[in-house]
Amino acid sequence: MWALVADAVPLYPLYALLFADSGLSEAQIAGLLAIWSVSGVVFQVPAGIGADRFSRTGAMALGAVAQASAYVLWTAWPGLVVFAVGFALWGAGASLVSGACEAWLYDSLTELGEPHRFQRLYGRLGAVELLAQIPAAGAATVLLPLGGFELVGWASVTTCLTAAVLAARLPEPARPARSSPRNPSARGTLGAGVRVLVGTPGVRGAVAVVALVTAVDDVEEFFPLLAEQWDVSAQWVPAATLGIHLAGAAGSLVAGRIRDRWTAPLLLAGVAMFAAAGLWADPPALVLVAAFYALYRGVLIVVSARLQDRITDSDTRATVTSVAGVGTDLAGLLLLGAWAAAGLPAALVLTALVACSLPYRGGHAAR
């Protein structure tokens, strides 16, 4: 329920259009998304340390509150500077959720003696998050004509605060006994995380792969703009892009059957489809974008699962995962810069280069 509510935000399919409606150029919108990434770079590791020291579910709840605060600002005082501040808050909130969520799920399964189920269940969680775009798109389509971006914004604030309450009520999994103090200092937690990152076989490579592949997801932010450029009216953009998210959910659901050696061909095939869509540039081309996103989301689940498999210390899981998040935000800045400079073609070239870094050399078959 938490995953569904957390992503059923009516503003998701519309905020790029909100920025455009406020007079921002595509380059300025890319710049705002870059602020989001910079905020992630700043907050990712501290957020992971906090989740490991105190509470993963508490971090997830606090992240939703930070996101709600961003939407309060955007709705009450729309403008370039306020959008930038809101993205900084949202980036901080996303940092609190990202590493904590994966650590919470993996440790919950470990407590049940079933960590091998992580790839399949993480795929289902990703599918639920994407399926949440159905109520989000429906609400956006209804609310925008009734009350404009203002009504959509306040509804989004309410959704985020509801998600915060649900996250706070999730059970916190027990962690294995350890020889270090139960609540070490932040420096101690960071040091332990660095030791895991440097000393555990395969972790550094897994972190790099996750960072690069996850950064590709930033192209999702431009789906509404692409739909509008391809002659879809603003009111129908949420519905038109909904199929892309549904395809991504399908890709996440079947990720449990994807083997590591398939990741490179699948992602390259997706890039080819997206490139063809860019050349077509009409509403039906969104079908090809959906196919790209389905393949991409399946690959993302596989590489994320491999990272969690290699982190052997439960007490630094969120911290190490947050290091991958920092890499994601840095790589995302490069992707956003490429989009701002040369649009979709540049972003696709970078995505193809990421695909060429695969398959992940770990030898683990999908579970």
44-58, 69-83, 352-366: least confident range: 352-366
Please report, as a single letter, which amino acid is at residue 73: L
pLDDT greater than 80 at residue 348: yes
DSSP character string of 117-148: GHHHHHHHHHHHHHHTHHHHHHHHHHHHHHHH
Quick one: which of 170, 215, 348 has its CA closest to 272?
Answer: 348
Q: Please give the span between the terminal C-alpha atoms of the chain, in angstroms, as a whole number.
A: 25
Least confident of 36-40, 107-111, 177-181, 195-199: 177-181
Q: Is the dihedral of CA 15, 18, 22, 24 positive or negative?
A: positive
Q: How far apart are CA 127 and CA 189, in angstroms?
A: 32
- Contact 357/209 with Cβ under 8 angstroms? yes
Note the pLDDT of residue 272. Answer: 96
Torsion of the alpha carbons at 89, 156, 133 and 126, rounded to the nearest 10: 40
State how far the Cα of 20 lies from the Cα of 225, in Å rounded to an integer: 9
Q: For residue 245, what are the CA distances in angstroms to 8, 67, 190, 201, 211?
A: 12, 21, 36, 35, 21
| pTM of the shown model | 0.81
Q: What pLDDT was estimated at residue 183?
A: 56
Burial of 6 (0-12, 13-18, 19+ CB in 10 A): buried
Mean pLDDT (the chain) is 88
Q: State yes or no: pLDDT of 295 exceeds 80.
A: yes
Amino acid residing at 288 = L
Asked if pLDDT for residue 289 goes beyond 70, the answer is: yes
Q: Check if the beta carbon of residue 130 is closer than 8 Å to that of residue 252.
A: yes
- Of 123, 129, 136, 118, nearest to 297 (Cα)? 123
Taking alpha carbons only, the member of 215, 238, 213 closest to residue 225 is 238
Residue with tokens 């509801």: 162
- Domains of the chain plus CATH, in order, are 2-173+185-356 (1.20.1250.20)
Query: How buried is residue 38: exposed, middle or buried, by Cβ count under 10 Å (0-12/13-18/19+)?
Result: middle
Does the structure show a pLDDT above 60 at 359? Answer: no
- Neighbouring residues of 272: CB distance < 8 A, sequence distance ≥ 6: none
Are 285 and 230 a contacting pair, CB within 8 Å? yes
Statement: residue 42 has pLDDT above 50: yes
Residues in the chain, total: 367
Q: What is the pLDDT of residues 147-200, one digit of tens each?
A: 999 999 999 999 999 999 999 999 998 765 544 445 566 767 777 777 887 777
